[in-house]
Structure 1
Amino acid sequence: MAGEFQVNGKSASSLFSLRVHRGEGMALVAMNWRGGPPPPDFVGFAIEYRPPGGTRFLAVSNRIAFPDQDGAGNPNKLSSRLSPIQKFRWVHFPFDAKKSGEYTYMVTPVFMDVARRLSYEEPQTADIELRREGGAGIGVDGVRRRRAINETLDEAIADPSARVYVVACDFSERGFVDRLRQLGGRLKIIIDDDGKHGAAHSGETRSADILIASAGAENVKRQHMGKLQHNKMIVVDGDRVKKAVGGSTNFSWRGFYVQSNGRNSCSSTPIKTSSCQAPFTKAASRSLPSMTKPHFS
């Protein structure tokens, strides 16, 4: 599924469950056997993938192979179809990870009888977009963070029920501020005003003025954050979107396009979101009690 950080296998009848986790140009393929331990003749998993726009599956190679009858290894049998992966998780780095679109992973349980003949049971498949990105003069990680942050706000804008909490230090990136402006009164934000951030013509003050006009003065607060503040955050709480983003990336031109400050994100389906959102919401409420959810107008 496009944009998801993790996806599950599609088959409910397969002998195992599958979950694929998206990385930066890579995927963690994780399997879990259903109904207790696998049988003694189970010898591993065949892992295959189909790149975006592809018409056939490509086998992921193992690093070891079953020995031939004479006990020697055969490098031509490293395909996981012939030498299955004997682990329940595997990290895959596609050669063509720069392609946009969804990769389809197919994982098949493999069995071997006493005559050393391989057999295969029902596979699991999952579609995920790996999205390795980059650009001239811009670090790949920075591009990924910026896109993840903007997507979070775009999703909040599209969900009329979503309420958004933000804590910002450097705060002047035009596109970011404009997205917050579109939220109107659904936004509550704390903006630093320490030192130069508090100047009348600073980017932070001008951005605050824009949001006061769109969200109301009661929803835009200024606080001294003491020169350095590494706990920037965005919390989105809506019927369709429940997501939290936290880390050191500043919401400024330097933060989005120059600095390498890290940012972690946590998103999930509504039933699981509380465990992800809770620490961020708690931190926001400690910074300013009136930012807690019941005080939204």
Structure 2
Amino acid sequence: MTSAHMTRETHNGTTIKLHRGEQKCLVGLDLDPANATNDFVGFALEFREPGGTQWKRVGNRLRFSYDGLSEREKAMGAPSTEAPIQKFRWIHFPFAPRNGEYRYRATPMYMGHDGALRRGDAVEAAIDLSHATIGDILDIGFTRGFASSQAYADAARFPCQERILPPPASAPPADLEHDMSTCEKEYAWLGFESRATIYGLLDEAQADATVTVDAMLYELREPEIVRRLERLGPRLRAIVDNHDAHADPTSNESVASDRLRASGAAVKRGKFGRQQHNKVLVLRRNGSPYKALAGSTNFTLRGLYVQNNNTIVFTDTKVTPLLGAVFDRYFEIIDQPRAAGKFRQDPLSQVWHDCTTAGGPVLRLAISPHADPALTLDPIAQAIEQAESSVLYAVVFLNQLTGRVRETLEELVLRSTFSYGIAQRTGGLSVFKPDGSRGLVSFAYLAENAPEPFAAEWSSYAGGDSRSNVLHHKFVVTDFNTPNAKVFTGSSNMAAGGEKENGDHLILIEDGRAATSYAVEALRIFDHFHFRVAMREAETRRRVLKLAKPPIGGEHPWFREVFIPGHIKERDRLLFST
């Protein structure tokens, strides 16, 4: 079974299903129940890179035993051929991803009474993880959001650690004055696709004298981006938000705006009813929009290098002129009295704009502020209510939102639809689990309570630093693995107040490839933070985490629930492997 974003193969009772993410892959695994004997101890997972001839082994930080190992060896983990993965799905995130086809091999592993491992029947499948999402239409990108992670905790690989941000007590405009020159490796790795995309668009514009840039910016605090904008000089027009602290003359946004004006750019400040919350770039060649960037990523150090965020670059013939028209109207009214009321009366705010092109996916955009938030929130709520397979979401500040989207997301616990969710809360994250329960985890939890063999992680929240959130996505994915797949995303927080009072954009894409990209991202984030919830709930900080060996006596095997009909773990296994 194969499509552009999914491949599934079965051999002698072992199944592997690959789901294409943005330069990462969700690997769904399954085993015929007859092969799931008590001596089954997990899967070995190997991969072959594009153009490569050698199989590389996916690593596992957990082992059956740590006896005789140094602290460094414990932290490095072991290949899954020696320390099998005791899960039925795994997200492979190549450290340095390549464009092209990745081939994966999954092998069930069994343990004898003597502790020796034996291989079962392996299965292979391949999938293209190249960067572009939907050619000539749109390209989705993500930040890593891994500043608090085991990978980033490796000081030998990433010596900068907390130096990627100014000290917590620094006063504005400390971000703009921050020296980024000594941490390039960290910034490139953490910013990942979104950073490369933003830098690339600005470099492209700078290199072509016929290109101008229009920017709608909520926050402007990333020093290198500001320098790139300055180089455009009079070829830049910008709208920079000025609500609350942003309006202070010493704020990063005010200082950056002054610098841009000094370079010759045309800069306006404004906020609509509450905020100008867009994060949008529009590139025009000889006055005609030909490329545009949208999404959730603020142009800040935290937005790119700490937070989970996304960007979408549009190269189609409908979205780019639409966002160009939005900029023109915003630029006309943003600094006028009652700007929000004027835009609510504009036709640009009153409909979903159909931007579908021939041969492309269904693509619609809505621009706020609107007179009636139901225009945008009702379609999201309806998609959640009508979902039959799954709902996966990552939404910032869900507990602070009002409106139908929050209500329908919280009602998911009463339904049989499979759902995973992560939502920002003050000082922590709510993890909404498929069984209807939820856990709350502090951002700094593994900075203080990492169980062996895990290393203490750096947290931008450690030591009382709570300057901003970690999760900043705003997306909902419904039925990603069906023909009815949908993803809603953009800069909108999907709240009634914001839709009525903020300058924002909301994007609907009805396409399996795009929906799967966001679904894989949702699972990556969920697993990353769910582990921290599990550590907190089980109070395991004084224990050593180990792989489970075959049961003895009356014990159950580690995978028992995965094969219980109707169990949430069985539903998880089947959703991602069938």
Residues 82 and 246 from structure 1, CA distance in 2 versus in 1: closer, same or farther, beyond 3 angstroms?
A: closer
Q: Which residue of 2 aligns with 1:195?
A: 249
Distance between the aligned counterparts of 2:215 and 2:496, measured in 1? Answer: 14
Distance between the aligned counterparts of 1:92 and 1:248, measured in 2? Answer: 28
Q: Which residue of 1 aligns with 2:488?
A: 274
1:175 aligns with 2:228: yes
Distance between the aligned counterparts of 2:486 and 2:249, measured in 1? Answer: 40
Distance between the aligned counterparts of 2:104 and 2:307, measured in 1? Answer: 31
2:187 to 123, 126, 142: 142
Q: Which residue of 2 aligns with 1:101?
A: 98
1:205 aligns with 2:202: no
Task: Supply the AA of the counterpart residue of 1:59.
Answer: R
Please state whether the residue corresponding to 1:17 is helix, strand or coil: strand
Alignment of 1:124-139 (within 5 A): 124-125=126-127, 127=129, 137-138=182-183
Please state whether the residue corresponding to 1:274 is helix, strand or coil: strand
Distance between the aligned counterparts of 2:498 and 2:232, measured in 1? Answer: 20
1:119 aligns with 2:157: no
What is the Cα deviation at residue 175 of structure 1? 0.5
Task: Give a deviation string over 1:11-56, Cα, whole Å, max 9, x none.
Answer: 2555442247679xxx6754265xxx84331555431123576321
Aligned residues: 238
Task: Give a deviation string over 1:94-150, Cα, whole Å, max 9, x none.
Answer: 7xx4x57358351335488xxx87223343445478999979721644344387335
Distance between the aligned counterparts of 1:32 and 1:239, measured in 2? Answer: 42
What is the Cα deviation at residue 167 of structure 1? 1.1
Given that 2:220 and 2:298 are in contact with CA atoms closer than 8 Å, whether structure 1 keeps it comes out as no
Residues 195 and 52 from structure 1, CA distance in 2 versus in 1: closer, same or farther, beyond 3 angstroms?
A: same
* Residue ranges of structure 1 left out of the alignment (5+ in a row): 1-7, 66-77, 224-228
Please state whether the residue corresponding to 2:17 is helix, strand or coil: strand
Task: Supply the AA of the counterpart residue of 2:216.
Answer: Y
Task: Supply the AA of the counterpart residue of 2:197.
Answer: E
* Residue ranges of structure 2 left out of the alignment (5+ in a row): 66-77, 111-117, 132-142, 145-151, 159-179, 206-210, 283-288, 313-360, 364-484, 507-578
Q: Which residue of 2 aligns with 1:221?
A: 269
1:11 aligns with 2:7: yes
Task: Supply the AA of the counterpart residue of 1:174.
Answer: R
Please state whether the residue corresponding to 1:137 is helix, strand or coil: helix
Given that 2:43 and 2:86 are in contact with CA atoms closer than 8 Å, whether structure 1 keeps it comes out as yes
Residues 17 and 190 from structure 1, CA distance in 2 versus in 1: closer, same or farther, beyond 3 angstroms?
A: same
Given that 1:167 and 1:189 are in contact with CA atoms closer than 8 Å, whether structure 2 keeps it comes out as yes
Distance between the aligned counterparts of 1:156 and 1:203, measured in 2? Answer: 16
Residues 55 and 281 from structure 1, CA distance in 2 versus in 1: closer, same or farther, beyond 3 angstroms?
A: farther
Task: Supply the AA of the counterpart residue of 1:106.
Answer: Y
1:234 aligns with 2:279: yes
Given that 1:236 and 1:243 are in contact with CA atoms closer than 8 Å, whether structure 2 keeps it comes out as yes
Distance between the aligned counterparts of 1:85 and 1:292, measured in 2? Answer: 40
Task: Supply the AA of the counterpart residue of 1:275.
Answer: T
Distance between the aligned counterparts of 1:292 and 1:208, measured in 2? Answer: 26
Please state whether the residue corresponding to 2:54 is helix, strand or coil: coil
Given that 1:243 and 1:277 are in contact with CA atoms closer than 8 Å, whether structure 2 keeps it comes out as yes
| Structure number having the greater helix percentage | 2
1:265 aligns with 2:319: no
Given that 1:171 and 1:207 are in contact with CA atoms closer than 8 Å, whether structure 2 keeps it comes out as no
What is the Cα deviation at residue 176 of structure 1? 3.5
2:56 to 48, 55, 58: 58
Residues 263 and 118 from structure 1, CA distance in 2 versus in 1: closer, same or farther, beyond 3 angstroms?
A: closer
**TM-score, length of structure 2 as denominator length:** 0.30
Distance between the aligned counterparts of 2:493 and 2:218, measured in 1? Answer: 13
Given that 2:280 and 2:292 are in contact with CA atoms closer than 8 Å, whether structure 1 keeps it comes out as no
Q: Which residue of 2 aligns with 1:31?
A: 28
Task: Supply the AA of the counterpart residue of 1:88.
Answer: F
Given that 1:109 and 1:123 are in contact with CA atoms closer than 8 Å, whether structure 2 keeps it comes out as no
Q: Which residue of 1 aligns with 2:296?
A: 245
Residues 154 and 60 from structure 1, CA distance in 2 versus in 1: closer, same or farther, beyond 3 angstroms?
A: closer
Task: Supply the AA of the counterpart residue of 2:87.
Answer: K
Q: Which residue of 2 aligns with 1:71?
A: none
Residues 177 and 272 from structure 1, CA distance in 2 versus in 1: closer, same or farther, beyond 3 angstroms?
A: farther
Distance between the aligned counterparts of 2:128 and 2:199, measured in 1? Answer: 27
Task: Supply the AA of the counterpart residue of 2:260.
Answer: S
